[in-house]
Amino acid sequence: MTTNRQIHLISRPSGQASLENFALVSAPAPEVGEGEVLVRHHYLSLDPYMRGRMNDGKSYAQPQALGHTMIGGTVGEVLQSRNKAFAIGDKVVGMGGWQEYGLVTAATIGMLRKVDDSQVPLSAYLGAVGMPGVTAYYGLVHIIAPKAGDTVVVSAASGAVGSAFGALARARGCRVVGIAGGPDKCAYVVDELGFDACIDYKQHTDAASLSAALQAVCPQGIEGYFENVGGMVMNAVLPLMNAFGRVAVCGMIAGYNGTPIPMATPQLILMQRLRFQGFIVSEHPQVWPAALAELAGLVASGALRARETVAQGIDSAPQAFLGLLSGRNFGKQLVKLI
């Protein structure tokens, strides 16, 4: 009998998450019933939003249940199928969770999508041509809605969302500025992703210093800002926003451990007539086909060269996840399962 190794959440973090919050569990691989599909996962996606779901509090989604497999995106291959829509060997992407095998039931079969890995690497469907890429697309196209020549800024620029945002914005004729942590990440953002500039926030101890560095590369101000971080970074960007600027709020990783995230100058929202809009990309299924088509084209053509950090084996997932939360990853964080 095939063993299915899983990572369960066994306790909720108090402050920073730790390895003690997780457990490696072994169980028999599930049997396939009528209408169901068994997927062998090749890659597991690790994403910052997972930290928020580890808390038991009010949020846009139900908390991760204790004693159950951690929720997460996966890409893999159909191993067994009793559903006519899927054949053995099909490559698929879905929400299989932190485990080696996933059973997709007839009731949730729509969550499983076939993908083509002949032009786009399979792992990219968890990053640039997956949820992170579509997140960047929605925030840029439907909230910031830039014109050619606009200056747009994205925090966490070297990550999966930030790199896709840069490629999409460049394709629309924008001037693109990133914020990232460390000289290597900033060099990658400029030299490989083609951003016009990138500011290393780790070289600044306060928002005023970071804002001055941003102003030097955004002398005409900023029309659009894609927010992944919050805290000091957000407080550095807001004074540079032009009138009627748009801020797409995707994440606030600075507050994921329960730390308050004060906004230093909220009066700027009124003074500059700014539009702030938070969004959850899963609530906008209508944009996914167009977004995925454009992103796949950017990856296939080489216009988007998203970097990946890959941990090996299901047992490495908790440590890799903690590294993601502290910024140790470079680009999209994945776990390779086979």
- Structural domain boundaries of the chain? 3-127+306-336, 131-282
What is the Cα 125 distance to its own chain's centre? 12
What is the third-level CATH fold of 3-127+306-336? Quinone Oxidoreductase; Chain A, domain 1 (3.90.180)
pLDDT of residue 1: 64
Evaluated on CA atoms 292, 191, 232, 269, the torsion sign reads negative
What is the Cα 38 distance to its own chain's centre? 26
Per-residue tens of pLDDT for the chain, all 338 residues: 689 999 999 999 988 999 999 999 999 999 999 999 999 999 999 998 899 899 887 777 789 999 999 999 999 999 999 999 999 999 999 999 999 999 998 778 778 999 999 989 999 999 999 999 999 999 999 999 999 999 999 999 999 999 999 999 999 999 999 999 999 999 999 999 999 999 999 999 999 999 999 999 999 999 999 999 999 999 999 999 999 999 999 988 877 777 788 899 999 999 999 999 999 999 999 999 999 999 999 999 999 999 999 999 999 999 999 999 988 899 999 999 99
Q: What does CATH list as the number for 131-282?
A: 3.40.50.720
pLDDT of residue 242: 98
User: pTM of this prediction?
Assistant: 0.92
Query: How far is 189 from 176, CA to CA, in rounded Å?
Result: 10
Element (H, E) at 325: helix 317-325
pLDDT of residue 107: 76
CA distance to 173, 213, 224, 233, 236, per residue, from 264 (Å) = 32, 18, 19, 11, 9
What is the Cα 11 distance to its own chain's centre? 24
pLDDT of residue 62: 82
pLDDT of residue 261: 87
